[in-house]
Homo-oligomer: A and B are copies of this chain.
Amino acid sequence: VKRTAQTQVAVLGGLSIEPMSGYSLRQGIIETLGHFWSESYGQIYPALTDLESKGLVRRQGQGRTSGSRFEITSAGLIQLKAWLAEPFEPVPQRNAMLLRLFFGRHLGQDGCRRLLVDARGDAERRLVEYATIRAELAAATNDPDTKFFLITLAAGEAASKAVLAWTDEALALLDS
């Protein structure tokens, strides 16, 4: 699968949860998938046009009262399942903070410490957000999507906790 298809997977997947406008699709992606996914209008609207021309989504309503909504078709659901099962190529990572730390000799000890302290603070803040989401999620136990939301949430929590442990270790290493 090309990376092109990834946006279509995200869009089609979003619409599989409930029919939405392109606008609220983006809001939903930011709010719900924000810690591991991002899409911009420049991707979403062309993707919706493509998906519509392939018959995988359909417009309901004509923007009369509160904008139009796109809904997934049955062909779209079949295509979504097929795309989800296909292998994917991991995007090559580029971590600007680690790049700076690697050249830490030139950045200096204080600069490195600042980077690490900031990263630790970010991770702590993210953990607070995740705790809030987890509390909200406890209400909707019978939603079949909740389990999977919890799994991706746990990924964010694990990653943030790893940052806490790592920054502590790195700060100790820095002073040695």
Contacts and interface: CB of A to CB of B under 8 A. Distances in A.
Nearest to A12: B103
A interface, size bucket: 35 or more
B106 A16 contact: yes
Contacts of A99: 6, 9-10, 13, 33, 36-37
A90 B84 contact: no
Given A6-B99, A36-B99, A37-B98, A105 B148 contact: yes
Assembly of this chain: how many copies?
2
Interface string A143-176: 0110111111011001101110110011001101
At the interface, is chain A mostly helix, strand, loop or mixed? Answer: helix
A53 to B, nearest CB: 22
Nearest to A95: B36
